[in-house]
């Protein structure tokens, strides 16, 4: 492990004004995205879409520090034969790779999941390093149950512990391979729960995660955290203000995340494009924390560009304009400089 190099990469990943483009949708997930624009998901179409994003010069050079790739994508070449990894590095952005194998039902824990993919991970990481990846991502999924149901309350301690332990083992293997691990314990926002429940669960998950990372010998200065924001479930009748989300999220992070972690790159978690940006901006306006707070967004960076593209190469200019705008808005939010007026001007 070259800890100095890992730390330099991690710091670059959270450069102020920049963040991560999550382009690591599985084949099944990107098919759903393409279905929404009536476009057939073929290998060439998936390549064309991602190539268009990676060739968007303004966004990539100014507001994208790194790109999370899927196994298919890290091996693909652009239409002119240029490896997609080379398109990313040409803009001084860092290629990364999703390495987990997805969330599967957790035995003995109805309604809960465990993320798989540890078997054979050491060899896969070594291969991904040779293919150009310098960071990786592993997502654990934590679901909060409907409080009105009688089938038990989730998340259970057993599910939290199983997932954070897997994240810690993954992170240790990444650092062994000189790859920066993004640890992503996502508390899902799709339920009926209020913001206090999300606050309590997120705090429990993060405290358990950092205990497990310590036990597995992971060097925190060579890691990035990708957490959820502290929000109410989408089905909760009482939704918090932007200010409350920002304050509660910062409070939880201050209570749980050690100062030697270089940065925190939030997932959008199904929030709308502008709300994800506004929440990030509000947190950075609070300030006073030891880590850089930025974004690791998929849909919240891509969705407007996807609809502008519509599966047609004739729409590249419109799609790239949409991507440039969302990247710029999130770049500003990562410095606390976003405004609704700038949003509207785009």
Say if residue 157 is exposed, middle or buried (CB neighbours under 10 Å; 0-12, 13-18, 19+).
Answer: exposed
Does the active-site annotation cover 337? no
Catalytic annotation present for 31: no
Q: What is the model's pLDDT at position 60?
A: 98
Q: Catalytic: which of 12, 98, 137, 226? A: 226
**Predicted local distance difference test score (pLDDT) of residue 210:** 98
Q: What is the pLDDT of residue 150?
A: 43
Structure tokens given for 77: 């070449």
Dihedral sign, Cα of residue 295, residue 142, residue 123, residue 31: negative
Q: Which of 184, 186, 203, 278 is catalytic?
A: 184
Tokens of 304: 């407007």
What domains are there in the chain, each with its CATH number?
3-345 (3.20.20.70)
DSSP 91-102: TT-EEEEE----
pLDDT for the residue numbered 345: 87
Block mean pLDDT (10 aa), the chain, length 346? 96 98 95 96 96 98 98 97 98 98 94 96 98 98 74 82 98 98 96 94 98 98 98 94 98 98 95 95 97 96 96 96 98 97 90
- Write the burial class of residue 250 (CB in 10 Å: 0-12 exposed, 13-18 middle, 19+ buried): buried
Assess contact for 270 and 234: CB atoms under 8 A: yes
89 CB-contact burial (10 Å; exposed 0-12 / middle 13-18 / buried 19+): middle
What single-letter DSSP state applies at residue 123?
H
């Amino acid at each position: 492990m070259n800890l100095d190099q890992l730390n330099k990469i991690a710091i670059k990943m959270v450069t102020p004004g920049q963040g991560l483009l999550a382009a690591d949708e599985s084949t099944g997930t990107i098919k759903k995205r393409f279905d929404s624009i009536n476009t057939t998901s073929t290998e060439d179409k998936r390549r064309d879409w991602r190539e268009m994003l990676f060739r968007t010069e303004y966004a990539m050079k100014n507001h994208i520090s790194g790109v999370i790739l899927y196994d298919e994508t890290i091996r693909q070449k652009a239409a002119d034969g240029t490896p997609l990894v080379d398109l990313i590095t040409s803009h001084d952005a860092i290629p990364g790779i999703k390495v987990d194998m997805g969330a599967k039902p957790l035995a003995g824990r109805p309604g809960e999941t465990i993320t798989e993919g540890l078997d054979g991970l050491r060899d896969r990481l070594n291969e991904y390093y040779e293919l150009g990846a310098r960071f990786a991502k592993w997502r654990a999924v934590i679901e909060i149950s409907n409080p009105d149901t009688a089938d038990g309350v989730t998340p259970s301690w057993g599910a939290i512990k199983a997932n954070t332990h897997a994240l810690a083992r993954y992170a240790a293997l990444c650092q062994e391979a000189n790859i920066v691990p993004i640890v992503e314990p996502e508390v899902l926002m799709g339920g009926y729960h209020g913001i206090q429940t999300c606050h309590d669960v997120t705090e429990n998950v993060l405290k358990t995660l950092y205990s497990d990372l310590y036990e597995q010998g992971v060097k925190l200065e060579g890691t990035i955290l990708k957490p959820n924001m502290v929000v109410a479930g989408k089905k909760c009748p009482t939704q918090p203000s932007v200010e409350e989300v920002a304050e509660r999220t910062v409070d939880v992070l201050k209570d749980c995340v050690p100062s030697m972690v270089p940065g925190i790159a939030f997932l959008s978690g199904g929030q709308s494009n502008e709300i994800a940006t506004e929440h990030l901006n509000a947190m950075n306006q609070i300030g006073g924390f030891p880590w850089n707070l930025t974004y690791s967004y998929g849909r919240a960076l891509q969705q407007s560009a996807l609809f502008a593209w519509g599966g047609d190469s004739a729409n590249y200019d419109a799609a790239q304009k949409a991507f440039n705008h969302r990247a710029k808005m999130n770049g500003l939010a990562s410095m606390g400089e976003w405004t609704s007026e700038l949003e509207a001007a785009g």
